Amino acid sequence: MKTRRDGPDLYEAAFYNFCDRTLEIGKVHGPDASKKYLKDHFLFYAIKYLGKLSLKNRTESELKSLFELCQIVMAHIGVMTPREFATFFPIDKTYDGAKWGNKDYFYTMKYINGIGGMDTVIGERDLEFMYEYDNWDVRFFTLTSLAIISELQEPTDGKNIMEEFASLLDAEIFTEHDFGTGVIHLIGDKGTTHILKDGVGFQTNIGGFDDGE
C-alpha cells in the first residue's frame, strides 16, 4: 500500500516517494537496511520538502504534524557536525557578503569556527546554526519551521514567534511577493530585497545586518 499523496508538488511527491522506498527496503532487506537508508537520505528530502511547502489553508492537525516533522529534522541536525551537515547541503559558494552586508561562505565559516569548528556536534545550537548557515534550501526550511510555529502559537505582547526570534538575533523579517510576474520577491523589514528566479536567489537592495565585527 502506497503512502497517501496530496497535490502535484514535486518536492512533496519526492518526499513521499522516499518514505515509500524506506518502507519497501525494510520489508525486503530488514530494519537495519531501512534505518541506514533513512539516515542517508531523510535530511535531504525532508528539508527540500518543508522548505518549499505552502501553509495556505492548512488545518491545525496538519500544522501539528508538520511541526512534529520539523522537530524530527532538528533532532537529526542536533546530533550532526557541520561537516556532516554540509554533505547534504553545502555552504553556498558566495564570497562577497561583506561587500553587500549579507551572509556568505566566509560569514558561515566564521560562525562555525566560533562554535568549535566543522567537527563539533551542533547540539542545542540547532536553530541558531540553521539561521546562520548560508544555503537557500536551509534558509527556506528555517523560515517554514518558524512560520508553522507562528501559525500554532497565540501571539504574546503583539509578537509571534518569528518576530520574537528575529528580535533576539537582530534579524530581518521577510515577506514573499510575486507582483503578478511569477518572480518571487522576498522583501525584508530592514529594506533588503531578495529575488528568486528559476530557483536562484540574488539581491537588488541591501538593508544590511551586523556581522559582529
> Which is more confidently placed, 94 or 102?
94
- Coil, helix or strand for 159? strand
Each residue's pLDDT tens digit, 12-67: 899 999 999 999 999 999 999 999 999 999 999 999 999 988 888 899 999 999 99
Give the angle 121-127-130 at the CA atoms, nearest 5°: 80
Strands 200-205, 193-197: pairing is antiparallel
Query: From CA 204, how far away is CA 184, in angstroms rounded?
Result: 13
Query: From CA 161, how far away is CA 149, in angstroms rounded?
Result: 7
C-alpha cell at 207: 538593508
What pTM, to 2 d.p., does this model score? 0.70
Of 137, 143, 126, the closest CA to residue 71 belongs to 126
Angle between helices 60-78 and 31-51 (to 10 degrees): 120
Query: From CA 184, how far away is CA 201, in angstroms rounded?
Result: 9
Each residue's pLDDT tens digit, 100-140: 777 899 999 999 999 999 999 999 999 899 989 999 999 99
